[in-house]
Chains A and B, each alone.
Chain A
Amino acid sequence: MLVVSLAPAADAANLRRTSGVVILGYLGAGALLAGLVMGGFSALLSFWAGWRETDVFIQVGRRAFYAAAAMTAIAALLLEVALLTHDFSLAYVAEHTDLSTPMPLVAAGFYGGQEGSLLYWTLILGLLGCASLVASARIGARVAAYAAGILALILSFFLFVLAVVASPFDLLSITPPDGLGLNPVLRDGGMLIHPPVVLAGFASFAIPFAFACAALLAGRADAAWIRHTRRFALLAWSLQSAGLLLGMWWAYHVLGWGGYWSWDPVENVALMPWLATTAYLHSSQVQEKRGRLRTWNFGLVILAFLLVVFGTFIVRSGVVPSVHTFAISAIGPWFFAFLFACIVFSAALIAFRAGGARAHVEPAPAVSREGAFVLQNLLLIGVIAVVFWGTILPLVSGMLGTERVVGAAYYERAGGPIFVVILGLMAVGPLLPWRQAGSASLRAIRWPAATASVVLVGLLVVGIRSIPALLAFPLAAGVAATVFTEYGRAFKKPRTILRKRRRYGAYLAHLGLVVVVAGLAASHFAQQEKDVTLRPGETVTVSGYTLTYTGSEQRELQDHTDFVAAMRFGDKTLEPSRATYGGLGGQALTHVAITTTPTSDVYVVLAATGTDGSASFRIFVNPLVTWIWAGGAVIILGVVLGNVGERGAAPELARRRVPVTLPA
């Protein structure tokens, strides 16, 4: 259609470019194929050499993985070059960018579409896989070899899909003079940061999974694999946390419905691996410190990775209705097969190999740090179950009869109570000692309890009667009090904080989560909303904030036309607008105007404009939304301060075998 009609005019330009440029597509496809061969070779050799414990071939297998990762990196580089040089002979480049797209967004086109984002996933898997294998020999030759084999298998699957099913290097029969451009919704700063962080968070959890499975295969049930992959698990968790929050931030600033989370399937499948990883980060400490929960940890790591694969399948196959889906493509069945293979492989491993992982340590009483971790784990898995059921209900009910769906109310009713208990556990758990509940630690609980009570009374006095709010805020305050109690204790001996950086970093992350929870609760329970139509000069007041509509104007920008309706708010001017993109059949896009006051966000959406100069607005006042983003930054800061450059202590069990009675 468009391509054919414009082709003759572009021919001359094409002929000049073709010789140098089409080669790029062939080179890229060749790199992917070479990577696939290397990956397959690495997998076969690593498993065989690991089984025979032949050091030389283990080395060769590992290096073949490096080679496969290098090929992936070359392919990624070639795709980025093709994007930046506007090589529209590649279908991928033509479908996701055009000449008017700003350069940073052209570069971001790399992960803006189905094929490119898969290549990005593979690239991260390859790079982190290399990093995890470099020093892997010290945890045992066999485990290292099996881990290389499993990573190579996963990498090969992705390279196979990229090379055969959904190649980013497919050529168009005729090179168009310009591309179709990136979807307007994605033309935003959020595009530069949210997708790469989320996808990297997904990809990086393959590392703990590979080493866990390798340890099971090799019959090594000790915590060596946990220590070796701890950084990768933390990296995965941090990236997933940042990815979720950035996604919320982006949705909040771009979509214009006043919120940041809509329990869409795509959000759900990103949340579930995060929950499983959170559970694993806590329970793995029980194994590191106490040598317990071995089988459980294998199970959690496997669950987290399966949820990642499940999420990738859901997002890319279009089996569940969502606003986020990629274009319908042929990769759905392949990912389903991959998911199925992963489930069968993991289930077999757990069933046949986990028996030897039983710990021989005397059991701990229920009310102890171990007990708190176990309960927290069970509750997090409960939340996963709630979210999972809500996500697959349309599928299941559709197969059994009429399709049914659940909305936010379901997740709040089913998940809310569990979150409340988890919050309570966060207030109590850190005060409990390992192995036993000492009376000293029970006395420490009075601080969080007192703080929570004061906040509860305060809320009741102010006149708040919503039960969820009356639970969430006091418990969050209790968690904060626990963190401060622990810090207060530690400040008497400041060196403790440095010696136990991991622990105090984790407390900082807890504090960050409290801030996030406060922001979520406040903006959820106390959001104000108002629809209004105004003529120039007229004023509206929403929950104490006064806005004046001053008039509208039209602005021509690089790739779109903006219709701006200006509102005066104090000494600031808010400019909500509607943009129309010429190149895409006149697709419109709302630009929200947000201004932050000390307690609230004032969020203005231009809903419609009248011919008489009037304009209709939907105005939200969202309390404490900025706390969510700030709390997220504190969480990441806690992880970084607690772990970067931290060499990882020797295992507690090996260091001292005498019973520890005080909170360690």
Chain B
Amino acid sequence: MTMALRWGLPAVVVAACVGYLIYSASGGSSEYYLTVSQLRSQAPAGDVRVAGVVQNDVQKSDGGLHVTFTAKDGTASMPVEYTGTLPDIFQPGITVVVEGRLSGDGVFHARTLLAKCPSRFSTQPYTQ
């Protein structure tokens, strides 16, 4: 058996297996990452992640564990419904990323809700 075959064959086999794993896993579990207006215009099936700004109509119930609010970007808005603990910085005006799906009645049922905070490691810099 030549050197190329001896080391090349296992490498090719491993590469093929890894390639297949990546292909099958990313096909099955990747999600679209959209803005609210993109979601409104194309409405893909399945779970999506949507980024939008929390509006002033936050309503909490069930001891604060259930929340509804409107998420909005430049042009479009959508009602969001979520059950679970909220990020510490959750309040009207911040951008959130919700993961879930849009139901037939137009309400977005979020499975997870993350606050998008572009400067986690620093506070606002002084304006000079």
By a beta-carbon cutoff of 8 Å, the part of chain A in contact with chain B is 1-3, 91, 94-96, 112-114, 172-173, 176, 180-183, 185-186, 256-257, 318, 321, 323-328, 363, 366, 374-375, 378-379, 382, 385-386, 389-390, 393-394, 397, 402-407, 409-411, 413-415, 417-418, 531, 533, 578, 584, 587-590, 605, 607-610, 614-616, 618
CB distance from B40 to the nearest CB of A (A): 14
A327's partner among B31, B62, B122 (CB-CB below 8 A) is: B122
Closest 3 CB pairs of A and B: A608-B64, A533-B63, A414-B25
Which residues of chain B in 17-32 are interfacial with respect to chain A, using CB atoms and an 8 Å cutoff?
17-18, 21-22, 24-26, 28-32
Asked if A618 and B85 make an inter-chain contact with CB atoms under 8 angstroms apart, the answer reads yes
Asked if A180 and B124 make an inter-chain contact with CB atoms under 8 angstroms apart, the answer reads yes
Complex CA gap A618/B97 in Å reads: 21
Complex CA gap A324/B83 in Å reads: 24
A404's partner among B31, B88, B125, B128 (CB-CB below 8 A) is: B31
Q: Which residues of A contact B85 (CB under 8 A)?
A: 256-257, 531, 590, 605, 607, 618
CB distance from A475 to the nearest CB of B (A): 18
Q: Which residues of B contact A608 (CB under 8 A)?
A: 60, 63-65, 86
Q: Which residues of B contact A406 (CB under 8 A)?
A: 25-26, 29-31
B75 within 8 A of A: no
A364 closest partner in B (C-beta): B6
Complex CA gap A608/B7 in Å reads: 59
Q: Which residues of A contact B26 (CB under 8 A)?
A: 389-390, 393, 406, 410, 414
Q: Which residues of A contact B24 (CB under 8 A)?
A: 413-414
Q: Is the interface of A mostly helix, strand, loop or mixed?
A: mixed
Q: Which residues of B contact A588 (CB under 8 A)?
A: 88-89
B21's partner among A185, A386, A531, A610 (CB-CB below 8 A) is: A386
Q: Which residues of B contact A389 (CB under 8 A)?
A: 22, 26
By a beta-carbon cutoff of 8 Å, the part of chain B in contact with chain A is 3, 6-7, 10-11, 14-15, 17-18, 21-22, 24-26, 28-34, 38, 42, 49, 60, 62-65, 83-86, 88-89, 97, 99, 114, 116-128
Asked if B126 and A180 make an inter-chain contact with CB atoms under 8 angstroms apart, the answer reads yes
Asked if A325 and B121 make an inter-chain contact with CB atoms under 8 angstroms apart, the answer reads yes
- 22 CB contacts below 8 A, A to B, read A1-B127, A91-B128, A96-B123, A114-B121, A256-B85, A324-B120, A324-B121, A325-B119, A327-B119, A327-B121, A378-B15, A385-B18, A386-B22, A389-B26, A402-B32, A413-B25, A531-B85, A533-B62, A590-B88, A605-B85, A607-B64, A618-B85
Question: Known interface pairs A386-B21, A588-B88, A616-B64. Does A183 touch B28 (Cβ–Cβ under 8 Å)?
Answer: no
Asked if B32 and A403 make an inter-chain contact with CB atoms under 8 angstroms apart, the answer reads yes
Q: Which residues of B contact A397 (CB under 8 A)?
A: 30
Question: Known interface pairs A113-B122, A180-B124, A325-B120. Does A418 touch B29 (Cβ–Cβ under 8 Å)?
Answer: no
CB distance from B10 to the nearest CB of A (A): 6
Asked if B21 and A363 make an inter-chain contact with CB atoms under 8 angstroms apart, the answer reads no
B125's partner among A95, A409, A607, A609 (CB-CB below 8 A) is: A95
